[in-house]
Structure 1
Amino acid sequence: MKNRMFVGAVALVSACALGGCGSLPDSGPSGSQKVTIWLMKDSVSADFLSRFTQDYEHEHPSVELEFKIQSWTGIGPKVIDALNGKETPEVIEVGNTQVAQYAESGGLRNLTLESMRDLGGEEWLPGLADPGSVDGVQYGIPWYAANRVVIYRKDLFEQAGIKTPPRTRDEWIADSEKLNSNGDQGIYLAGQNWYVLAGFIWDEGGELAQEQGGSWEGALDSPEAIRGMGFYKELQALGNGPKDADEEKPPQTEVFADGDVAQIIAVPGAAAQIEQLNPELKGKLGFFPIPGKTAKAPGSVFTGGSDLIVPDKAGRPSAGVEVVKALAGRAWQEELARTMSYVPNKPGLAYVIKGQEGTAAMARGATKGRATPNSPQWASVEADNPIKPYMTAVLGGGDPEQAAKEASAEITEQLADG
């Protein structure tokens, strides 16, 4: 997934990226083999990379690591060129939902054996692992994840007599109704926040699209998906979110910071932005996973994050695989989660962030994480997204079944164009 989801999620920003440099300084010993890694801007801090480089080169004296920082803007064609042999690095960080697109173009190394034998791939978060696998072949190795949680005003909950955050949808609706009074909005939820809708659809057993007989079809018109949209409409009505815009128009962090909103759905890092905009809210914000249909498990969420791929045409692909193993292995996964406030690639490693309230809530939600349909053409759907106007139509009183049928037909057409 493109990293727009993580705006504000990263507490430590790469000084190298802010300075506009293309890569970190060479630090390997003379005569060593250079291994080039492309990482995306702001994924990790310069300090993290410095410590990883020092440790890795100490353990592998013949290797010199070269990190080149890339921008998400325009990265797709650049990765395709690299897979075709143009200035090809040994390792590339890509969005988890981009792996299928790159796999279709060819040029990705099959990492199935390495992932299952050395990295314990059977334990990975499904929202990272599943989109990294295409036709049973693991091309993308999960690196880190992030997902949405509910950020709430502890003081407004207390004033409404709500002692603990809700754990079920029914409790969530009831609490939001209590909060939606006295001039306050129970929840601010924009009408076109389709990533949130996806979680409600998955909880009902529906899909955004599904593969049948080798082709993909839109699935918003299934009874399950329509029920998910019904819950979205019920929740969205408990505030004044616009029906015809997403969470960035206006930015929901700014709306929340104005002081009359009890809840928003966002990545935990958004809390820092809110407190910066309104210092009076410092210490008043809490976090909980999106509630599920029952208290047994949180609600489903879209998992965004990054996978690591190794191009076949890299000069030293085997050396690239070894770097991936280190970055995705236990020691540096724990360090990544601890220092960057990400969800590690395995639920069993989440203990390292239990002291961080927002990240811990995110990790609990990640256990029910999913990714968008694993079609190479899904990017076309997001580029001209028919889900958004579908949501606006239903929220505006349109026929849910007819609107879903029309949106599903558009999705089917877009997925077939590739």
Structure 2
Amino acid sequence: MKRKLIAAVGVAGMVVSVAACGSDSDKGGKTDASGNKTLTVWVMDGSAPDAWMAEVNKAFEAKHKGVKVKVEKQQWNGIQEKVTTALSEDTPPDVLELGNTQTAGYAVTGGLADLSGDKATLGYDGWNKGMLASNELDGKLYSAPWYAANRVVVYDKAAYKKAGISAPKTRAEWIDGLKKLKAADPKSQPIYLPGQSWYVYAGFLWDEGSDLALKDGDKWKGNLSSAQAVSAMNFYKELQSYSTAPKDKDEATPQQSTDVVPKGGVASWIGLGWEAGGAIDAMKKAGKTADFGYFPIPGKTADKPGSVFFGGSNLAVSERSQNKELAKEWLALAAGKDHMTKYAAATEGALLPNNDAAQFKPAAGSFAEAMALAAPVGKITPVTPGWANVETAPNPIKDYMTKVLKGEDAKAAGEAADKVINERINQK
């Protein structure tokens, strides 16, 4: 349930063109030895609890006699190439899970079915608006949101108690708390924040009302030299000044949850649910006991938390599916409110369902509770096929952040980064 989010949160790479000449007919299709029609569903390993998936398929098969659902689990490693190939074949999977930053790239190739006319049956109006954005391109719907996850602040309760502080509600309270943590224990890091945690930075930029890149006519342009981007980066720089983390690395180099936090001396850090779980396990193996608290990344004001990046997955129907209408029905069932409510319960709030009304009521004080509080302000990176090119190493956003943290003027560094973004994001 956890590791898949590493890939879902920030996938880079190009996808090649896929010819779209499928039929809307459900005649023919794949059948097994007993003559049953087979509906093939690709999901990533760990995305769907087995019992939940079995219940969805049982309900679907009960309605469609003679149809069997075949679930094939996939691995994130190499999935882009595998999906690209599958979508170009005559018998692709009928339904498939796609990382939310990948979906636009597959949609533009023509490999995904247009679901715009199926919004009502799919439950479009009830979907979380932050998750919805990655499913649409140029006014058309190509997939349904499935689940997402976002980062929260993880803190050491003992360190916060020693400093006499509690979970902050605003940025100002957050900074004040970091100052008190530093005074209470000068040898400890009030917050561990690597210089290149660009998803965290993106949230600060969204809080300023802007984005990493903006549409400019029929082109896209980088936005890191804007006044909003500079303001966001200056706040990130202020936070990072309370950390001794490397300015030229991200949160995975070294892995903050298993290589840094378990060694001690870290009062707080920003991470995903699987990272919090990994830290707890690593500390246990080292003979230590983790006592973590969690709170949403604070916003500029107390009325709402800070914006966060939604890493997650969507469910799409292949344009070449030979069972397209059945595939749409399966998708409507699996992504519908009833089964998403059961999905949220099955994952115990570790993942956010596509419908806010389906959210599992997490335990008070849990990571899931803090994550759910930030769900209404979740967002994703710019929805354009060219965005994958931007994330390709060397990532210009990471380089920009490091330059500013090492003393370069934020606007000048942003202008240099924007030139790279402009070139990459508009590549065909």
Aligned to 1:350: 359
Distance 1:283 1:386, change over 3 A: closer
* AA in 2 matched with 1:349: A
Distance 1:176 1:86, change over 3 A: farther
SS at match of 1:309: strand
Question: Per-residue deviation at 1:251?
Answer: 0.7
Distance 2:134 2:177 in 1: 35
Distance 1:324 1:313 in 2: 16
Contact 2:283 2:290 (8 Å CA) reproduced:
no
Distance 1:409 1:173 in 2: 33
Aligned to 1:370: 379
1:234 aligns with 2:243: no
Distance 1:178 1:124 in 2: 41
Question: Per-residue deviation at 1:256?
Answer: 1.2
SS at match of 2:102: helix
* AA in 1 matched with 2:378: G
Q: Out of 383, 397, 406, which is 2:416 matched to?
A: 406
Aligned to 2:16: none
1:325 aligns with 2:362: no
1:339 aligns with 2:342: no
**1:168-225 CA distances to partner (integer Å, 9 max, x unpaired)?**
1111111112112422111000000000000001101221001111101000110001
SS at match of 1:406: helix
1:308 aligns with 2:319: no
Aligned to 1:257: 262
Aligned to 2:142: 139
Runs of 5+ unmatched residues, structure 1: 8-27
Distance 1:202 1:378, change over 3 A: same
Distance 2:82 2:145 in 1: 21
Q: How does 1:101-180 map to 2 (within 5 A)?
A: 101-115=105-119, 117-162=120-165, 164-180=166-182
Task: Using the TM superposition, name which of 395-404 and 275-284 deviates more.
Answer: 275-284
Distance 1:46 1:356, change over 3 A: farther
Task: Using the TM superposition, name which of 350-359 and 323-332 deviates more.
Answer: 350-359
Distance 1:354 1:328, change over 3 A: farther
Aligned to 2:388: 379
**1:104-152 CA distances to partner (integer Å, 9 max, x unpaired)?**
101321112322x123323322232111101111101000011111111
1:225 aligns with 2:234: no
**1:224-258 CA distances to partner (integer Å, 9 max, x unpaired)?**
01100000000011111110100011110121111
* AA in 1 matched with 2:116: T
Question: Per-residue deviation at 1:85?
Answer: 2.5
Aligned to 1:91: 95
Question: Per-residue deviation at 1:267?
Answer: 0.9
Aligned to 2:51: 47
Distance 1:383 1:273 in 2: 27
Distance 1:171 1:356, change over 3 A: closer
Scaled by the length of structure 2, what TM-score is found? 0.88
Question: Per-residue deviation at 1:416?
Answer: 2.0
Distance 1:354 1:122 in 2: 28
Sequence identity (%): 40
**1:350-394 CA distances to partner (integer Å, 9 max, x unpaired)?**
244355721121111121111111110111111121111110000
Aligned to 1:190: 194
1:270 aligns with 2:280: no
Runs of 5+ unmatched residues, structure 2: 10-31
SS at match of 2:233: helix
Distance 1:148 1:297, change over 3 A: same
Distance 1:29 1:342, change over 3 A: farther
Question: Per-residue deviation at 1:56?
Answer: 3.1
Aligned to 2:67: 63
* AA in 2 matched with 1:296: D
Question: Per-residue deviation at 1:72?
Answer: 1.5
Distance 1:203 1:57, change over 3 A: same
Contact 2:8 2:100 (8 Å CA) reproduced:
no
Contact 1:197 1:229 (8 Å CA) reproduced:
yes
Pairs aligned (count): 397
Contact 2:40 2:71 (8 Å CA) reproduced:
yes
* AA in 2 matched with 1:362: M
Distance 1:56 1:355, change over 3 A: farther
Scaled by the length of structure 1, what TM-score is found? 0.90
* AA in 1 matched with 2:64: H
Contact 2:44 2:76 (8 Å CA) reproduced:
yes
Distance 1:43 1:233 in 2: 35
Contact 2:100 2:134 (8 Å CA) reproduced:
yes
Distance 2:367 2:273 in 1: 5
